[in-house]
């Protein structure tokens, strides 16, 4: 039988209640999102990526688990065996810590560019933590941090046309 999608929000709420944790307030949108049209085919576009799996490169300072709103820059040519994860949901990272490409598709993106499926890749991808309790801090600290990094990279090596987002 085809597995049904897991109800993560309900499951987390029930688990947190049992454990006595403060309820996690998932973002619930009350308006429709903006929608930006693509201006050229994927094969002519430059792609960036953001991971919320707490991805870092060996040698960088790891993330901490209490509302860390910092970001890390992950060069697109980082060797796979140097990619690490520090994320509060460590139980979801058992395999990713052996094969980072299950949640951070650095290798697939490289192959897709070599095949001409993607026009170009950003020099650096960016990562951050997920599971941040304060939506306000996501809006006032984390998103501006990401925006600054993406804008600075655009000045240094050209703007991206598309942004892939891979959560944990």
112 Cβ contact partners less than 8 Å away, ≥ 6 residues apart: 118
Distance CA 83, CA 56 (A): 6
Is 28 a binding residue for another protein by CB under 8 A? The answer is yes
Binding mask 128-157 for another protein (x = CB under 8 A): --x----x--xx--xx--xx--x-------
Of 147 and 152, CB closest to another protein = 147
From candidates 81, 94, 114, 155, binder to another protein by CB under 8 A: 94
Of 102 and 157, CB closest to another protein = 102
Distance CA 77, CA 84 (A): 14
Is 25 a binding residue for another protein by CB under 8 A? The answer is no
Is 64 a binding residue for another protein by CB under 8 A? The answer is yes
Closest CA to 113 of 48, 26, 34: 48
From candidates 73, 137, 141, 164, binder to another protein by CB under 8 A: 164
Which residue pairs, CB below 8 angstroms and at least 24 apart, start in 28-31? Answer: none
Q: Give the Å distances, CA to CA, from 122 to 85, 86, 104, 145.
A: 21, 23, 15, 17
Instruction: Indicate the SS3 state at residue 19.
Output: helix
Is 37 a binding residue for another protein by CB under 8 A? The answer is yes
Query: Min. distance of Cβ 128 from another protein in angstroms?
Result: 8
Of 77 and 95, CB closest to another protein = 95
């Amino acid at each position: 039988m085809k597995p049904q999608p897991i109800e993560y929000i309900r499951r987390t709420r029930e688990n947190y209640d049992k454990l006595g944790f403060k309820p996690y307030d998932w973002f619930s949108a009350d308006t429709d999102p903006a929608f930006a049209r693509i201006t050229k085919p994927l094969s002519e576009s430059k792609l960036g990526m953001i991971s919320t799996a707490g991805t870092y490169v060996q040698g960088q300072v790891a993330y901490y688990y209490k509302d860390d709103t910092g970001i890390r820059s992950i060069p697109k040519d980082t060797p796979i065996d140097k990619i690490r994860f520090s994320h509060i949901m460590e139980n979801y990272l058992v395999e990713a810590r052996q094969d980072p490409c299950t949640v951070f598709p650095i290798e697939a993106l490289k192959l897709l560019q070599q095949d001409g499926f993607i026009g170009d890749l950003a020099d650096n991808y960016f990562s951050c933590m997920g599971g941040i309790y304060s939506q306000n801090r996501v809006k006032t600290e984390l998103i501006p941090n990401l925006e600054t990094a993406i804008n600075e990279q655009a000045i240094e090596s050209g703007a991206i046309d598309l942004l892939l987002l891979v959560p944990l």
